[in-house]
Amino acid sequence: MSYLSERAERTPPSGIRRFFEIAEEMDDVVSLGVGEPDFSAPWPARKAAIEALERGQTSYTSNRGRRDLREAISDHVTRYGHDYAADEEILVTTGVSEAMDLAMRALVDPGDVVAVAEPAYISYGPDASFSGGEVLPVPTRAEEEFRLTYDALERAGAERADVLVFCYPNNPTGAVMDATHLAEVAEFAREHDLFVLADEVYAALSYAGEHDSIATQPGMRERTLVFNGFSKAYAMTGLRLGYAMGPPEVIDGMNRIHQYTMLSAPTTAQAAAIEALESCDEEVADMREQYDRRRRFVLSRFREMGLDCFEAKGAFYVFPSVPGDDEEFAEELLREAEVAVVPGRVFGEGGEGHVRVSYARSLPELREAMNRIEDFLADY
């Protein structure tokens, strides 16, 4: 007899974790599968966390997050053209993952349709389902550099959706969208009255110019939630801190759920985040420069191998096409060459035939991995 709910029974295990479980049984694996920086958080942020602990700052903060952190966030995001009020329009959360879950529960009623641009981070669909929503995949195409377009939304029937979710710079593809591309998505959202959830956690890791946000498009601020955090740009994954910005009534609705589930984001992480925003721009710029060097190296090696790979310009992933079935390719690559990548299909329909490769690894590790992949392809 199972005591699990139907919801839990229906939820599939992460398609990423299976490959990591295989890799854990092997001795010499070079993992290019983890979406996590290989840097440590900048020292000033770590020092601020240490000092907060030494001062005994271990109590709850405001449900919405420390006010000085919300003010720092409000100041910080002006670089992306945003203007959000610290008191009413910003909520600090336990990572962007919690923020997305709260948004779905605050906005989605049973039977509502949630359009998800794919390939997509693996939690968006389950988050929508947990809220009773119907997930509508919106596949994007390699030949369009995995950008979300008006035509893609129309092809998928997204006019019947209530909510649209996407992530740019994109996990898993590394795709980016500039203001011109975002304008046509904004047009579709306005025409069909969609509320947009824009995951911008990789905003600082853009290599082809400044990041553009859909919330700055005409008529979009009032129908958009913007998500960002400290895991990627500041290498603070384990500190679990993110934030959402948007219309006051939506932020208030999210906070009411947050009060009963998480109470407040981690206190020590909030101390680190304030210092990160105020004094760590140089460290972020240095990490971005190193990622860019690795990005160019990995792209050049895949092209030398003859694998079709569009020029990813954001985050720390590339998304080459591979021969045959992407899941079989990834499993054989792991078992025979001891290189871990993630099959594209786990990120949705648009990912089939590709693999996600993270270059958040040192150049020596990347060289070794690329050599192994090249040798593997020679016999594949």
Q: What is the pLDDT of residues 317-368, one digit of tens each?
A: 999 999 999 999 999 999 999 999 999 999 998 899 999 999 999 999 999 9
Inter-residue contact 108 to 133 (CB < 8 Å) = yes
Q: Is the dihedral of CA 224, 105, 148, 340 positive or negative?
A: positive
102 alpha-carbon distance from chain centroid: 16
pLDDT digits (tens, 9 = 90+) for 33-91: 888 999 999 999 999 999 999 999 999 999 999 999 999 999 999 999 999 999 999 99
CA contacts within 13 A on the Cβ side of 244: 32
The pLDDT tens digits along the chain (380 residues) read: 788 888 888 887 776 666 667 667 777 889 998 889 999 999 999 999 999 999 999 999 999 999 999 999 999 999 999 999 999 999 999 999 999 999 999 999 999 999 999 999 999 999 999 999 999 999 999 999 999 999 999 999 999 999 999 999 999 999 999 999 999 999 999 999 999 999 999 999 999 999 999 999 999 999 999 999 999 999 999 999 999 999 999 999 999 999 999 999 999 999 999 999 999 999 999 999 999 999 999 999 999 999 999 999 999 999 999 999 999 999 999 999 999 999 999 999 889 999 999 999 999 999 999 999 999 999 88
What's this model's pTM, rounded to 2 decimal places?
0.95
d(CA 189, CA 223): 9
H-helix or E-strand spanning residue 91: strand 90-93
Inter-residue contact 264 to 59 (CB < 8 Å) = no
H-helix or E-strand spanning residue 245: strand 242-245
